[in-house]
Structure formats: structure tokens, C-alpha cells
Amino acid sequence: MVNIIYRHYKPGDDLGLTNLFNKAFQMNGMSIIRSVKNWNWRFVQSPDFKPEMCQIAEDIDNKIIVGAVYVNLVEEITLGGKQYLTGEINDVCSHPSYIRRGISKKLMKMAVDYMKKINCDISLLDADIKGFARKRIYQKFGFFDFEYRYIHFYLPLFGFFISYIPQFLNRIRMKFNKFFKDISYEINYNKKHFEYMEAANKIIPKYYEGFPLYTKKKVKWARINVPDKNLAPTYIIVKKRDKIIGGAVINHQNYRSLKYGIKIRLGMIHEIFLDKIVFNNKRDLYLGYIYLILKIVKIATARFINALLFEGDLKDLDLNKSLKGMHFLKNKSEVVMMKLIKENIEIPKPIKPLLMSSCLSLGVP
């Protein structure tokens, strides 16, 4: 009989948790391969980390960590004009040799109990619509489908050939459009972190819900003190005259299949935003997004990225239309799930599109 105990994180667990992550997510075919340094940065070094945020199952006879669930991050988000303290669930995983033993369910209960203890209003997680965990674990713990999401993909080499003519025509339209006469952009690799932070915090909440504002502490962790150069950000800042009207941020990680020896350099677009009020009409706004997406593609080429990934809301119609115009592929495959930690509250259905933390949507801050 296997002797499993349940506990919280303690120093020295890093290697065991790193090995668990890599074994568990390689069952899906491809995943990030984390190092101990990367794992420690992602969780232990995150703002306001506490050991109780990391729920652990350990086989004490074989001295191996066989399951984990993380409540990370805990942040204030705005929905329907109200602030809610939100616990984000990440990286629910079990060792391949220990599945179907109820380990994840016990760890999820520990995570929910922790969120109750720290007085969270709600909990959020991002799930595969067709995934096993959504029906067999999350729904049984009271998580419900809150908002469906598109995964947008772009293959730079493929996209260049099929969208060359549309891109050329859009550049001509911008050249002869008076609105774009005084539009400029900056591409900043691993610099101007706080200038970008201030612009994102000012513009994004006007048009999106659910966005946890950047803080200097969060930026220093997620953008500046990164464990390897792949995670260093490239910022795009779009200006009209000298005023910032939009931006985007990208970094990348290597996705690997150890079984088949495959490696893909995957670029992750954390957010894409424009201050829509400055645009004269929908046509100019469409071209504004195209302008910004063209810069994203330029960065992808410079960083030798094989594929770009962006998760967005179905209701973000203006951005979705422009991504389609740039031949991004899309798949309605993800869902943001919510659990009411305080059962007496009511959460309004979002009117504006959701822009969630990339810790939640991409698993990477």
C-alpha cells in the first residue's frame, strides 16, 4: 500500500516539484521543461509567496512528490466595476504513476481551504474545454464555466507567404490614411519596463475586465529578474505624436517533446491593447491593430520564434477581426472557470472582454 501524506511547500522541495511538473505535463505530448531555477522563480520568488500556496502530495516511502496544486497569484481584479480578491489556480498535476488515486481532488480541497482562510472572494483557473480535469475535478469542486476563450496561433514562416499581399495592401492603406501620419512605435528589448507598465495600467482597464494591474514589485519579478533570457520581455509601444496609445509584450519559451526529440520556440503574447477612443472609426481601429500586430510579427522573426500564441476573449471583436486579417489561426478550446469562495456574493457577467493575467492564461507571468 502506498503511504501518501499531504502537506505544504518547504525549502528543499524545489527539485521534486520540478521533476513532477516535467513528468506530468509531458504526458500531454509537449510542454515546457522547467529547471529548478525556473520553478523557484515562477512560484517561490513570486510576490507575497507563502508555503501554504503550494499544496503537495508526497509518497513518503519512496521519498517522491507525486502531486501538487498552486494558488498563485492572489490578486485584486475588477469585474462589473467591483474589486474581488482572487486566488488563481495553476499547474494542477499528478505523477503519471499515481493517477486515479484522488490525489488532485485532495490537493484541490486544500487549495480551496487556503483561499477561504485568506478571505478570497473567488478563485479562477484556465481549463481545456475538452480536458479530463474540467469535468472530473474542477466542476466537482464547484468551478463553473465563466468565459470561453480563443487560442490564437501564428506561424511566422507560413503566415509570411499567405498574408504577404494583405500585409502589403494594409501598409498602403496606412500610408495614405491621415490618421497614421503621426503614428510611431518603439521596440524595447528588456528595457522601459515601467513606462510600459504605466501605459498598460492606464489603457487596459478602459476596455477590459479582469486585468490585475501591474505593480512595481510584480514587474521586477515577472519582467526584470527573470531566470533566463528567453523570458526577458520585448515591449512594443505605439504613440500618436508623443502620447502612448497602445502596446504589447512578448517573451518566449521552448516547448519540447522528450519522447520524440522535438523542440518548438513558442512566443507568448501577454497582451495587445489600443486606446480605442483616439481612433476616428472602426476602419482606423482595425488598421491600428494591424499596425501593432505587424510589429509583433517583426519581433517574432527577430527572436527566431517558430510559433506565436495568444489567448483572448470571444467578445474582443475588434482585436479578433484584426488577428484573423493577419491570418492568425484560432481555436475555441479554453475556458476561464470560477468558483465562489464566499458563497454569498454574486459575480456579474462581464460586459467588456476579459483580459486575464498571463500567469493564468499562459502559465507564465
pLDDT, tens digit (0-9, with 9 covering 90-100), for 149-166: 999 999 887 766 677 777
pLDDT score recorded for residue 219: 97
Question: Distance of CA 117 to CAs 50, 92, 113, 275, Å?
Answer: 13, 20, 6, 39
pLDDT score recorded for residue 168: 84
C-alpha 16: how far from chain center: 24
CB-based contact 338:143 (threshold 8 Å): yes
- Last-in-domain residue among 95, 128, 149: 149
- Last-in-domain residue among 149, 165, 192: 149
Q: Both 322 and 189 in a single domain? A: yes
Which structural domain, as residue segments, surrounds residue 31?
Answer: 4-149
CATH number at residue 298: 3.40.630.30
Structural domains of the chain, count: 2
Q: Both 319 and 267 in a single domain? A: yes
Q: Both 181 and 214 in a single domain? A: yes
Could you tell me if residue 202 is inside a domain? Answer: yes
Q: Both 325 and 202 in a single domain? A: yes
pLDDT score recorded for residue 349: 86
Q: Both 178 and 85 in a single domain? A: no
Q: Both 281 and 154 in a single domain? A: yes
Could you tell me if residue 301 is inside a domain? Answer: yes
pLDDT score recorded for residue 258: 87
Q: Both 186 and 118 in a single domain? A: no
Q: Which segments of the chain have a pLDDT < 50?
A: none
Q: Both 160 and 30 in a single domain? A: no
pLDDT score recorded for residue 154: 92
Could you tell me if residue 340 is inside a domain? Answer: no
The verdict on pTM exceeding 0.85 is yes
CB-based contact 223:196 (threshold 8 Å): no
Could you tell me if residue 362 is inside a domain? Answer: no
* 142 CB-contact burial (10 Å; exposed 0-12 / middle 13-18 / buried 19+): middle
Could you tell me if residue 356 is inside a domain? Answer: no
Q: Both 10 and 100 in a single domain? A: yes
Q: Both 9 and 130 in a single domain? A: yes
H or E stretch at 255: strand 243-257
pLDDT score recorded for residue 159: 64
pLDDT per residue as tens digits for the range 115-129: 999 999 999 999 999
What would the DSSP string read from start to end of 277-336? Answer: GGSSSHHHHHHHHHHHHHHHHHHHHHTT-SEEEEEEETT-HHHHHHHHHTT-EEEEEEEE
pLDDT score recorded for residue 161: 66
Q: Both 141 and 250 in a single domain? A: no
Could you tell me if residue 132 is inside a domain? Answer: yes
pLDDT score recorded for residue 7: 98
Could you tell me if residue 220 is inside a domain? Answer: yes
Nearby residues of 99 by Cβ (< 8 Å), 6 or more positions away: none
